[in-house]
Structure 1
Amino acid sequence: MNQKTIQKLNLFFSGLVTRYAENEALFKEIRFSFKSGLKSFPGKVEARDGLRYHFKGAAETLGMKAILDRVLAEAPAYDSLKLIYEERGSVMEIEADDRDVRVKNREITAEPAKLPETSPLLNRTYLINHQKARALLTELDILTQDGKLRNDKIRKYSQIDHYVEILQKDLEKFRNAKHTVHVVDCGCGKSYLSFVLNYYMTEVMKIKTTFTGIDISEKVIETSRQMADRLGYRNMTFIQGDIRTLTTRQRPDIVMSLHACDTATDLALNFGIRNKADLIIAVPCCHAEMNRKFSYEPFESMLKHGILKRRLADVLTDGVRCLLLEQEGYDTTIMEYISPLETPKNLMIRASRTGRRSDRAEAEILNLILKLNYAPALYRYLNDLDDPSDETFAEHESE
């Protein structure tokens, strides 16, 4: 290739170095091929323990600038170059020869998934598109390796897609963020929803994100790490530890918790409030603590029936959580996440930070505590009234 082409390549490669520095966590690989006459000389760069540069049978670990400098230094000896720079969700193609340098950007699409004729998916548009998100849905075992939708996972697919649908407007608020949005999944388990949100925010909404999953179980943390590695989701970190004592290097913008048992949901809410997260999402599971400990004399004749006391404890627990979030400056809603016919664990608490504390909510909380003769877990955690170490931060169920 002539000197004019080399100079143009140098300019485009400078842009790639900048792009990589800004989107390092999204980088997947570079594939390139030089041509001389009829012969091709392929090479590649993969993200594995740094960047590994492969060419002419040799492999080195180098920085992105050094790698592209190597490619540029090889270019004069060949007739042409085709280089493909791939990130999650997009590809840049550079073709160079003595005539010119041509650049093309395109979105990545997958082969269509094979759906059963009876599938309800045929009559619905899904945000987590089964074609574009094929690698993700295969990893989550919703699609088979050959792209067929598993009949026993249609409900799971619908649930995770509906989760994203519910949060879509909340996520829009982060689209123009000038910083990398940090999402923390408390009691992450197998991290299904973190993976789904990562895909949607990163590849569909084009929001620069990092995800941190925290769980007490090293086993599920290792499983999540392996899944992230297979998917190439390099913007995810998984930590084995206890949310009561762990801190993250970056302030969380979004804190989420799915089916954390009993007071583990309160610990997740407390984590979000203490860190002033802009959005807190929780789908609670079990409300055993309130059921064991509250009493209310006017209802004693009814609460002798265990099932009624349990149901009232459920309502009181989530109602108090919403009031405490309002007290701490959050605009809070509670809604049915999915049909109660599918699971009784079907309520979602969504809280958006306003920064305006509510004196009304605080007065109502104190009044309830006096009447119930009991201070709920989230109230105690927020006010450091007892040591949360006597509670067990339970793992999520494996979903």
Structure 2
Amino acid sequence: MNKSNISKLKLFLVGLENRYAENLSIFKDINVVYSTGLKTFKGVAKIDNNLLKYNFNGVTKEISISELFNTITKEAERYDSLSLIYSERGEIISITADNKNVSVKNTQIKDIESNKKSKKDDFPGNTSTLLNRDYYIKVGKADALLKEINIMTKDGKIKNDKVRKYNQIDHYVELLSEILDDLPRNKTINILDCGCGKSYLSFVLNYYFTEVKKRKCHFIGLDYSKSVIDSSKKIAQNLGYRNMEFHAVDIKDYKTDKNINVVISLHACDTATDMALALGIKLDSDIIISVPCCHKELLSQYKYDPLKSVLKHGVFKTRFADILTDGMRSLLLEAKGYDVSVVEYISPLETPKNIMIKAIKKYDENTEAMDEYMNLMYNFNVYPALYSYLNEW
């Protein structure tokens, strides 16, 4: 290649070098093909154990991005043309260069629509089917993710027994999408998943906000079980999601210097939900999202004589305990300066534990809400775990 176009190539590579530094956590690989006549020579650069490694002519070496691009421009002098593909999650940048021209093109990875529409009869015995809606986590584009979290078969179909989970996580993304759009765009969003389990929700949100919304984000998963944390680490490694970290730790024992923007908790059992809410409040998180699971704590505590004749029935007493628990959680969030809304996350036909608490930090502490909360504690003779955790921390 001539010197003039080599100089143009260098300018494009400087831009890629800056992009690499800014978006390292979503970088996938660089493929370069040199051509002379009918002969081609290929080089591949990938991240391995946080090191960039470049293989060319059967030799692999550790290399910095600057050294890599210097090597590519020097090699380009020996050939008639080159084609370079720079791949990130959700986007590729291609550079072509020869003696006539140097050009660059950005390409979004497009959706691949499924040719087969799922019908109700395809899922016998299930209450769930694929819905007639525009999914946020699309079959085709998100196949690698859906297969890794065991929702999709190897041949690209949603598993019969995973349709319900697929619908749930997609609706969760829908509910969070607009809320997270309000977060600042000039910094990395730190998202803390409390009681993450196998972290399916974090993986799905990571995919959506990184590859669809093009937002910089970092995920932290917490769970006391080392085995599920190890499983989450393995999935992240398989997917190449380097903007994630996982810790086998009790929620109440977690400490961080990071500015946490979002705290999420999906079906954390009983008072584990309270730990997650308390941690979110303690960290002054911008957003707290919780879908509570079982409610046992207040059931054995609360008493309310005006409703004694009604609450003598165990079913009513249990259901009222659920309402009281989540109602007081929501009120205490308000007292701590959050704008709170409570919605049905999914249909109660899917699961009775379908309440989502959404809290957005808007104000200073609300003393009136705190007084109401204290009155409820007195009137119902309860001492909720959330209040206890906040006092302890």
TM tier, smaller: over 0.9
Residue 134 (structure 1) aligned with residue 149 (structure 2): no
Residue 270 (structure 1) aligned with residue 278 (structure 2): yes
Q: How many residues align?
A: 384
* Residues 122 and 255 (structure 1), Cα distance of their counterparts in 2 relative to 1, 3 Å cut: closer
Alignment of 1:231-380 (within 5 A): 231-380=239-388
User: Deviations along 1:231-273, whole A, 9 cap, x unmatched?
Assistant: 1111111111122121223121000000000000000001101
Identity between Structure 1 and Structure 2 (%): 50
Contact 2:111 2:138 in 1 (8 A): no
Alignment of 1:61-210 (within 5 A): 61-109=62-110, 111-113=112-114, 115-118=116-119, 121=130, 123-174=132-183, 176-210=184-218
When normalised by structure 2's length, the TM-score is: 0.94
Structure 2, unaligned runs of 5 or more: 121-128
| TM-fit CA distance, 1:302 | 3.2
Residue 28 (structure 1) aligned with residue 28 (structure 2): yes
User: Deviations along 1:92-114, whole A, 9 cap, x unmatched?
Assistant: 00011111211111011364445
In 2, Cα distance between equivalents of 1:137 and 1:280: 26
| TM-fit CA distance, 1:296 | 2.1
User: Deviations along 1:281-307, whole A, 9 cap, x unmatched?
Assistant: 000011101112222233333333322
- Give the RMSD, CA atoms, in angstroms: 1.6
Contact 1:215 1:221 in 2 (8 A): yes
In 2, Cα distance between equivalents of 1:124 and 1:110: 15
In 2, Cα distance between equivalents of 1:352 and 1:345: 22
In 2, Cα distance between equivalents of 1:299 and 1:184: 40
When normalised by structure 1's length, the TM-score is: 0.93
Residue type matched to 2:8 in 1?
A: K
Contact 2:112 2:139 in 1 (8 A): no
- Residue matched to 1:396: none
| TM-fit CA distance, 1:131 | 1.9
Structure 1 segments of 4+ aligned residues over 4 angstroms from their partners = 119-122
Partner-residue secondary structure (3-state), 2:348: coil
In 1, Cα distance between equivalents of 2:134 and 2:112: 17
In 2, Cα distance between equivalents of 1:375 and 1:115: 54
Structure 1, unaligned runs of 5 or more: 388-399
User: Deviations along 1:202-222, whole A, 9 cap, x unmatched?
Assistant: 111111101111111111111
User: Deviations along 1:32-80, whole A, 9 cap, x unmatched?
Assistant: 1111221111010111111111111111122211111111221111111
In 1, Cα distance between equivalents of 2:164 and 2:131: 14
